[in-house]
A and B are shown apart, each in its own frame.
Chain A
Amino acid sequence: MIVAKRKPFDEIKEYIKDYKKVLVAGCGTCVAVCLAGGEKEVDILNTELDMARRLDNNPLETGTITIERQCDVEYLEGLDDVVKDYEAILSMACGVGIQFLAERFPGIPVYPAVDTTGMSANLAVGLYEERCRSCGECVLGLTGGICPVTMCAKGLYNGPCGGTNNGNCEIDDDQPCAWFKIYERLATQGRLDNILKIKEPVGWNDQIPRTLIQPGYMKPEKDA
C-alpha cells in the first residue's frame, strides 16, 4: 500500500496561517491503514490546530471530513457541497489524492498535511518497509523476489557492490544488503544462473509522467 507520514506541525500551521476557515480532509484507504491520514489522524490534527491558533489569538474555524479515497473521482463528488464553505483545504491523503483534490477544486488552495513516502509492506502496527519503487520494469523474476531497485541503496542491477558488511549494506548495519539476500535465496533455489548473466542497462520508465491504459480500454472522449 501507499504509506505517508504527517508533516511537522509547524509546517502545516505555517501553510494556513492567513486563513480563518480550513477544511481538514482525510482519506479512508491507504493513509488510514498506515495511521497517517485517516479519520483519527484528521481529528488529532484538527484539535492541534484549533489549540495552537487559540493560543495565537488567531482562532481558526475548521471542518473535518474523511472520504473513502481522494484519488477516486467517485468519492470526491461528496465534497462538492462541503468545500465551498472554506478558504483552504488541508489534505491528509497521499500525493495522488492531494493533487486530485486540488484539480477538482481549482479555486481553493489545497495544502499537504502528510509526506508520501512510498509503497510499503505492513510489518507490524505502525511499522512499514518500502518494497517497490514502481520502476515499471520488474526484475523480481530474476532476483528471487527481492527488489534491488528499492532495497539496494545504489539500486544496482549487478550487485552486490564491495560494501557488503556481514550481510548488511554499507550505509547502515540495520539495513540488509539486498544482493546478499538475493544471492542467498537464489542459491537456496538453485537459480544462481539467473544472476551470472549481466543485466544490461535498463531504460528508466519513470522519467516522464506515466499514463496507463489497460488493453481493451481507452481514454474517455472528453479528455482526448
Chain B
Amino acid sequence: MLTEKEIWILAGRFSARSITELSIEDMQAIADETGISLKAVEWYALDKQIQPLRYRRNLGTLGFDGQKKLLESTIIVCGLGGLGGHIIEQCARAGTGTIIGADHDVFDATNLNRQILSAIDTLGEKKVEEAKKRIEKINPAVDFKDYHGKFADIEDSDWENADIVFDCLDNIAGRIVLGEKCTSHNLPMIHGAIAGWCGQVAIVWPASSILETIYKGQETGIETETGTPPFTAAAAASIMTANAIKILAGKETEKKEQILFFDLFENDWQTINL
C-alpha cells in the first residue's frame, strides 16, 4: 500500500500531535499536502490504530486489521443493476479499496423500481458512468475502474489482481460462464439471484459445482413471471456484500458448499448444504 518514503512522510506528519481520529477534512488535507493517495493515508492511520471517522462505525465489526485488509482489496462487480448497484454502494461505504465494475447497459424506466443508481435524470445514461459518479461522491478513497461492456471485456490483469467477484448478472447462461471464468482465475464468486419475494446467495469457491447443480439445463427462472421487486434486490445484495466482506476482511476461512434461499413473504430462510 505504501512505499518506505511515504511511510516516512506520514510518520512525520502524524507524530506532530497525538491523533486518535481523523475527520474527512483532516485526511484530505494530509493527502493534498503529502501527495499520497487518500486510500494510503487511511490505511496508514488504521495501521497506527487511528480511526478515520468515516469508518468508525465499521471498526467494532471489522477491526483495524479487517478494515485495512478491506482497503487493500479489489472486487469485480459483474452487472450494475438491481444487485450490483446496491453492492457497489455498500462496498464503497464499507471501504473496499478497488472496485471494478462491468455493465454494457444504460438505464431505462423498468430499472427504476429497484436499481439504486437509476433515477429520472439518469435514464439513458450508462450504468458504469453512474456507478463511477456515485462512488466518487460516497468515498473518493475508492478506486473505480469501469467497463462499459460485458464481463468478458475485463482485462486479464484485472482478474489477476482481484480478490473476489460478484455475480450480479440477470441471465443464467452468463452466470455459468462467469463461474467458469472465476474458477480459471482461482477466484471466489459471490452468486446472488432474485425473483419475486425470493432470492438466493452462495459463495461459489473455485471449481465448485453449485451453479451446475442449481441451474442444470435451465435457461430462465421464475423472475420472468414474478419480476424483481426492490426489497428482494436490496436484501440479496446486502447478504452478498456481507459474505464478500467476511472473506476480504479475513473473517471467513471455512469453505462451505452452501446456498442460502430466502422467501421474504414467508420470512423463511433456508441454508442448504450442496
Q: Do A and B bind each other?
A: no
